[in-house]
Amino acid sequence: MGKIMMNKAIIITGANGNIGSFFAKRYFKKDDKLILCIHENSDRIANILDNENVRIIKTNLVDLSNFQTQLNEILTETNWHLDRMIHTTTIRSHDFKPLAETDAKLWENIIRVNVMGTFNILKTLIPVFRKNGAGKIVLFGSNVTRIGLPFGSAYSASKAALANITRTVAAEEAQNNIIVNIISPGPVKIDDSHFSESYRKFREEYYRKNLREIPLQRCASFEDLFGLCNFLLSAENSYITGEEFFVTGGKV
């Protein structure tokens, strides 16, 4: 039992993204064993990679076989006891067009990455958690699941799918002691320097409008999200499952 406690590991997808990299660094400081999934870049987490408690999976989550192979290799090599997962990987609608004018291939790709990528990671990890006797999962959605997103229908649809996947899998896996929840933030303060100029302008206008409607008059911080996520994954949470948590500063 003591060895399992020492070898407990958490997997974080989108680990080089804004939220994912922040969470990776916070769990690194807690001395957790980390399996970090990235697509290509690792610049935001470069300072924690050279450590025996960190392993990297470099893959596109749409590639189920590649992800499964790399994860199995890591678990075999390390004998880590994987018991938690945070899924932050996402791509956004970036054409800023109404649905009727959106390119079908772009729409399909966003759904494929966001929804099929989620399917693939859950399909891979749920059997691991079943074998280990328990597991806790937090997906990241968006408050667009209840308000929609004009000029971003694919992203909005994909996040709605994740919310319902959460509810469904939570019901399916409750008997296996697997807890599944989703955090759906409103606007989050992030580093947007890597986005295109057109997308930054879209975000600025979207945030300007939405901040006026937020009672707390600010965006969510990474700390706001981490506190909730950390609780949902902790030993203190043994009953909350299948829930969608809106982190919106009081906006209904």
8 Å CB contact between 88 and 38: no
144 forms bridges with which residues in the sheet?
none
Secondary structure in 3-state letters for the chain: CHHHHHCEEEEEECCCCHHHHHHHHHHHHCCCEEEEEECCCCHHHHHHCCCCCEEEEECCCCCHHHHHHHHHHHHHHHCCEEEEEEECCCCCCCCCCCHHHCCHHHHHHHHHHHHHHHHHHHHHHHHHHHHHCCEEEEEECCCHHHHCCCCCHHHHHHHHHHHHHHHHHHHHHHHHCEEEEEEEECCECCCCCCCCHHHHHHHHHHHHHHHCCCCCCCCECHHHHHHHHHHHHCCCCCCCCCCEEEECCCCC
Q: Which residue in 155, 156, 158, 184 is the catalytic one?
A: 155
Instruction: Report the number of distinct structural domains present in the chain.
Output: 1
Quick: pLDDT tens for 28-51. Answer: 999 899 999 999 899 999 999 999
Work out the pLDDT band at 199, boundaries 50, 70, 90.
low
Is 193 part of a structural domain of the chain? yes
Work out the pLDDT band at 201, boundaries 50, 70, 90.
confident
Please confirm, yes or no, whether 155 is among the known catalytic residues.
Answer: yes
Is 102 part of a structural domain of the chain? yes
Q: Which residue in 21, 93, 136, 142 is the catalytic one?
A: 142
Identify the CA nearest to 111 among candidates 154, 165, 56, 171. Answer: 154
Is 144 part of a structural domain of the chain? yes
Radius of gyration for the chain, computed over Cα atoms and rounded to the nearest angstrom = 18
Share of the chain above pLDDT 90, in %: 77
Q: In this structure, how many other beta carbons lie within 10 angstroms of the beta carbon of residue 10?
A: 21
**CATH number of residue 116's parent domain:** 3.40.50.720
Quick: pLDDT tens for 143-192. Answer: 999 999 999 999 999 999 999 999 999 999 999 999 999 999 998 876 66
Is 86 part of a structural domain of the chain? yes
Backbone angles phi and psi of 86, in degrees to 5:
-120, 125
Average of per-residue pLDDT values in the chain: 92
Chain-centre distance for alpha carbon 204 = 23
Backbone angles phi and psi of 104, in degrees to 5:
-65, -40
Work out the pLDDT band at 240, boundaries 50, 70, 90.
very high
| C-alpha span between 99 and 78 (Å, rounded) | 46
The parent domain of residue 14 ranges over 2-247
Quick: pLDDT tens for 38-86. Answer: 998 999 999 999 999 999 999 999 999 999 999 999 999 999 999 999 9
Structure tokens at 30: 């807690």
Is 252 part of a structural domain of the chain? no
Q: Which residue in 33, 156, 159, 184 is the catalytic one?
A: 159
Structure tokens at 217: 């008059």
Please confirm, yes or no, whether 159 is among the known catalytic residues.
Answer: yes
Residues in the chain: 252
**CA-angle at 72, arms to 70 and 76, nearest 5°:** 120
Identify the CA nearest to 9 among candidates 89, 87, 84, 121. Answer: 84
Q: What is the pLDDT of residue 196?
A: 66
| C-alpha span between 251 and 248 (Å, rounded) | 5
